[in-house]
């Protein structure tokens, strides 16, 4: 099977990011992830990936900090020799109606979600361009496609990721590097677990499939876009949302 492939998943210590990393680990990839929260149990996380038979490099880094990101990428190349797939998953929300939204709430979301995607991608693509192959998957959101009250900052960041994805797909296609985006709908994560039952029921009633998705259902699509099964797909946005946005 030749050399093992390597995936870098930003924000891969929990939620969708962790599920994505586990999916790649199960399929024989080396795993590189960054985390920011100081209460992340790195050893425990490492064990989970090793149980799937994967080698994992887990580093603390802020995706908006060019130096820290380059350190992660350099260490990944040092250890594994390659980054074949990049999943730009790191993201936050700071919801508020625009009338009440502070500049800090706006800037922080745009910085981490959109600028972070730029910083990490820029650090990785020079290696992919040298190899003349690679796949980049950016996490957008149905909110970036259809908007949502109280999420102007988040919607703007996720819509920005769609424009970024399409432009970059055109830039890198001649080097055989594919760039796609995945736009999840309501997914069962820490973010949604705090919602009350009545709010969850209300959400489910608006989804044609009548339920929230699981992180694994998003990870399956991201895995598909990262490997050669999707070799003729680039510049696309795939909604994983139970039919919420059509």
Kindly list the catalytic residues: 154
The Cα 155–Cα 150 span in angstroms is 9
The Cα 232–Cα 159 span in angstroms is 23
Q: What share of the chain is helix, strand, coil (3-state, %, to 5)?
A: 50, 15, 35
Q: Please, what is the Cα angle at 217 between 105 and 34, to 5 degrees? A: 50
The Cα 148–Cα 185 span in angstroms is 12
Spatial contact of 141 and 93, defined as CB atoms under 8 Å apart: no
């Amino acid at each position: 099977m030749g050399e093992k492939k390597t995936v870098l998943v930003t924000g891969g210590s929990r939620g969708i990011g962790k599920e994505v990393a586990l999916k790649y680990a199960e399929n024989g990839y080396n795993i590189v992830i960054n985390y920011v929260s100081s209460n992340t149990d790195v050893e425990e996380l490492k064990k989970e990936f090793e149980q799937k038979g994967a080698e994992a490099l887990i580093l603390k880094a802020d995706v908006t900090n060019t130096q820290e990101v380059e350190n992660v990428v350099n260490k990944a190349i040092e250890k594994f020799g390659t980054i074949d797939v990049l999943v730009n998953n790191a993201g936050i929300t700071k919801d508020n109606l625009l009338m009440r939204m502070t500049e800090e709430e706006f800037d922080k979301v745009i910085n981490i979600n959109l600028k972070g995607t730029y910083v990490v991608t820029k650090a990785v693509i020079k290696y992919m361009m040298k190899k003349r192959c690679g796949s980049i998957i950016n996490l957008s959101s149905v909110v970036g496609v259809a908007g949502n009250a109280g999420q102007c900052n988040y919607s703007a960041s996720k819509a920005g990721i769609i424009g970024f994805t399409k432009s970059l797909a055109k830039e890198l296609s001649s080097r055989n590097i594919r760039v796609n985006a995945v736009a999840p709908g309501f997914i069962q994560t820490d973010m949604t677990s705090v919602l009350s039952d009545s709010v969850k029921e209300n959400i489910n009633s608006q989804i044609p499939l009548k339920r929230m998705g699981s992180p694994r259902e998003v990870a399956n699509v991201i895995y598909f876009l990262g490997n050669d099964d999707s070799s003729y797909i680039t510049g696309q946005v795939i909604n994983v949302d139970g039919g919420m946005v059509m």
